[in-house]
Amino acid sequence: MKKILGKLYFKVLLFKNNILPRYFIATPFFSKLYYFLFSSTFNREQHAVLKGKINHLKELERDKANIYTLIRNTHRIEKGLLMRPRRDVFALDYIEETIEAFLNIWDPKKIDIDLQYKWFYDVLSEYFSTSGDNELISKLATKFNNKVINVKTNEASFNGIEKSIPYHRLEEEKPNISYEDFFKLMRFRRSVRWFLDKKVPRTLIDKAILAAAQSPSACNRQPFEYRVIDDPELLKGVVNLPGGVRGYVDGIQTIIVVLGNLDAYFDERDRHVIYIDASLANMSFMLALETLGLSSCAINWPDVEVLEKKMEHILKLEKHQRPIMCMAVGYPDPLGKVAFSEKRTLEHIRTYNYGNSN
């Protein structure tokens, strides 16, 4: 009780002396104090970040097989392989961790059906076959080769796919899509709120997700997933949770909840990457839908505690998973209008060398 009264007294004192607006906004200390004493807005995010970090480190320590660590480190090795000039010996500070993770998740049966397994194998094979002389690398190369020896005798079975290692892009393989056509597609794509009463084929959703998966992602970790909801009963529980669906909610037959997985990271510094990487993928996803005759409406997901709890319960989310946004998907009704939504001019969103004193 004494603590509660103390908080109330402090709050009244700050407002009375007009200290709250000035100092809470002006200094990091008072902003921390404000959110500690008066607001729990960031509690769920803090818990999710910490839970993700603990899960990541626990899995890495216990199983030596954290998939996100293996993905990140394989990508780091890729970058070492393509550097100009390339160093003869590199990755000494993380190659042992990488091989431990690889050896503990490796399943040769998956190499023909999961291209990421093939990527792990190909990149590590290239690393060991081209590295300079080093005692640690030689020791780990032996462990690696002993693990994959049966696979090496069956390389011809990789469905005709070449090695998944750094390569030169060929200009003649670039699709003939002009800027003008691309810009037209961007202008054509708008948030559609009126859909035909027509079931959305899952094959088309999957195609769009495959396109989205080609989007850039920090260290290739892709810390997101698409929960596609098209079951009528489950749809009822989810479709009304995000804001901004009033008036057209009854016409939504498929909704997608995009989730971020904070267990992809070992440090709080990367807590925002789930939003960045998912947003890059989501734009690709929405454009891909348009090429398939489908449209979408990006729906905001505000951080509201009661809604977060409901979404967590309905989708059975882990504590380290965060809803990022929702999307309604369907066949657009040609009789339904879309918002014009004129965008800001170039001068409002672009500067060159701003802040340069020269």
Residue 343 clears pLDDT 70, i.e. is over it = yes
User: Which helix (DSSP H) or strand (DSSP E) does residue 310 occupy?
Assistant: helix 305-315
User: Which helix (DSSP H) or strand (DSSP E) does residue 326 occupy?
Assistant: strand 321-330
For 156-160, 306-310, 325-329, which range has the lowest pLDDT when averaged over its residues? 156-160
pLDDT digits (tens, 9 = 90+) for 264-317: 999 999 999 999 999 999 999 999 999 999 999 999 999 999 999 999 999 999
CATH topology (fold) of 179-330: NADH Oxidase (3.40.109)
Q: pTM score, two decimals?
A: 0.87
User: What 3-state DSSP class applies to 327?
Assistant: strand
- Cα dihedral value 170, 174, 180, 186, nearest 10: -120
> pLDDT band at 26, cuts 50/70/90?
low
For 59-73, 147-161, 205-219, which range has the lowest pLDDT when averaged over its residues? 147-161
pLDDT digits (tens, 9 = 90+) for 65-104: 789 999 999 999 999 999 999 999 999 999 999 999 999 8
pLDDT digits (tens, 9 = 90+) for 111-132: 888 899 999 999 999 999 999 9
For 39, phi then psi, to 5°, come to: -140, 135
In the chain, what are the domain boundaries?
2-39, 48-157, 179-330
Angle among Cα 45, 94, 162 to the nearest 5 degrees reads 95
Q: Give the mean pLDDT of 243-249.
A: 90
